Amino acid sequence: METEQLQISDGYAAIHGLPEGTTEIARSQWLASLDPEDAEKIHSLRSEAFRKRQREYRMEYRIVRASGELRWIELRTVISYDGGGRARRVVGVTIDITERKKVEEHRDMLIAELDHRVKNVLATVSAVVAQTRNDVSPADFAATVQSRIRSLASTHELLSRNSWCGASLEEIVQREIAPYAKDNTEISGPSITLEKEAALTMSMVLHELATNAAKYGALSNRNGRVSVQWSWVRSNSPDRLAIVWEEIDGPPVSAPGGSGYGTSVIRELIPYELGGKVELEFARTGVRCRLDVPIDWVNSKMTALH
């Protein structure tokens, strides 16, 4: 303590990026390598330990090597005192915990992301339940809610399989149509991966289109057919993805008298959530819906854009 010199091992020198063969450094040199905030914490912790005559203390701190590399270090010390209670010698060990810290930071990030997703899912489910209650009879309530939540779960499964980097548009379309269609659908378009937010929004819209088609439209009889095609729209404005849902040879269609939850989702969700456009037409020959999605919602790393 009187000399404020640190006698160090080869391992200590290696951890702190000191020249090979270094056996002693001034404590001030060690402090200079610390993150300033951590240096202040160590000073306070050390002073308190001496004041309370503690036999040991420990802490974690950051150092910046000469190369600029940041490393996390765990310090464990044992203190010796003289007869008068003054600290005479501190013996310690340092452990490089950088990799552990990276794992902890990644874990904390995942927990925060999971918390965010769960809150979003619960908010969506809450809205679905509330709106469905106003949109269907009590007898149909449970079945309709279950169907809509099952659709959300299916898209979550796709996203989870891709580590939440996005979901295939083709798979989303197929999953939403599958409960109602067999050989009476045509699906075509380039390979497209939507970002997670767009995937969830698109699945909700397509679910309502498919459900309406199964109840009232082209998927409600044997002759009806549904075509879902998508393509890139190139223009002077930013590129966008156009998805066209078209019902053919179904029963005559008329526009609904009011705007229920399903129709509102189809018309409003993509403009509100994605900044896109929707054209919904209740033609006598069948429902036709065009969905325009800005290119920003397409995962460029997983999609061949050109």
Q: Flag whether pLDDT at 218 surpasses 80.
A: yes
CATH for 101-297 (3.40.109.10, 3.90.550.10, 3.30.565.10, 3.30.70.380): 3.30.565.10
- pLDDT band of 124, cuts 50, 70, 90: confident
pLDDT in tens, 221-231: 888 999 999 99
Summary mean pLDDT of the chain:
88
Q: Can you give the pLDDT at residue 305?
A: 54
Q: Flag whether pLDDT at 22 surpasses 70.
A: yes
Query: Whole-model pTM?
Result: 0.68
Per-domain residue ranges of the chain: 5-96, 101-297
**Whether domain 5-96 has CATH 3.30.300.30:** no
Q: Can you give the pLDDT at residue 306?
A: 46
The Cα 121–Cα 100 span in angstroms is 31
In the chain, what percentage of residues exceed pLDDT 90? Answer: 50
Q: Flag whether pLDDT at 263 surpasses 50.
A: yes
Q: Can you give the pLDDT at residue 223?
A: 87
Rounded to an integer, the average pLDDT of 144-166 is 87
pLDDT in tens, 23-47: 999 999 988 889 888 999 988 999 9
In the chain, what percentage of residues exceed pLDDT 70? Answer: 96
